[in-house]
Amino acid sequence: MLKRLTTIASIFAFVACNNDGDTKSTETDTTLTTKTETTVAVLTDAEKTDGWQALFDGQSSSGWHKYGGGPVGSAWKISDGMLWLDTSAKSSDGKIAGGGDIVSNEDFENFHLKLEWKISSRGNSGVMFYVNEDTVKYKRPYETGPEMQILDNDGHADGKITKHRAGDLYDLISCTRETVKPVGEWNLAEIKSMNGQLEFYLNGEKVVATTMWDDNWKKMVAGSKFKEWKDFGTYKSGKICLQDHDNLVTYRNIRIKRL
């Protein structure tokens, strides 16, 4: 179970280590200090009326589990309406003790996802979707699920790589324009998928638009680092995933609407 905290004073993140077989590089975190923040409403009345559901209730890990099964690890902390990955404790293999990628209990087909995120200095993370949790076939969520990148563009090495910057469809399509806010500030991210029409929004502006599963999509995947996983980006229904990339990342107001 997650340990609930009442305030966040200072969160210290240490040297990040890449997962075996991971598809992204890592950098060293620096200290990120966050002020105590007032708990925000998970859903507005208008959102409820419009069919939105909360994927994070602001108080517990209900609705989520560790990829592959089991409860959300203890490194995923909850406080003041926020869900964040505590990088202060490392296991003997250099990974975050009690961490791991987490996925929604429910699968989603056509959907509109909204959430707010902020990243630590030199931090790296991501939100994946259409993740298939057949762990006999797939060891990691990124073997099936495309990703909206979360990154400190200026501080992390991936910021120098095309299609690896914040808001990109990771390793497939770059943002048409960059609307990401500075490290430590909240970003509103949206992923909308309807019958193969995929759109990313960052801070209110559309930054990626493409069609999934057609010949052009298959060509993009074949030219990417995901080409070795034959089922990547093929599923039309799956789980939402929040990535443990060994860096401090914070989320709030995670909500979704089935389309």
Q: Which residues contact 228 (CB under 8 A, 6 or more apart)?
A: none
Contact 221, 227 (CB under 8 A): yes
CA distance 243 to 45: 29
Q: How confident is the model at residue 90 (pLDDT cuts 50, 70, 90)?
A: confident
CA distance 133 to 173: 25
Contact 212, 233 (CB under 8 A): yes
pLDDT tens per residue across span 215-251: 999 999 999 999 999 999 999 999 999 999 999 999 9
Hey, what are 49's tokens?
């009326």
All domains of the chain, ordered by start, with CATH? Answer: 4-258 (2.60.120.560)
pLDDT tens per residue across span 3-20: 333 333 334 333 333 333
Q: How far is CA 57 from CA 23, 48, 84, 149, 212, in A?
A: 30, 13, 14, 23, 31
Contact 142, 128 (CB under 8 A): yes
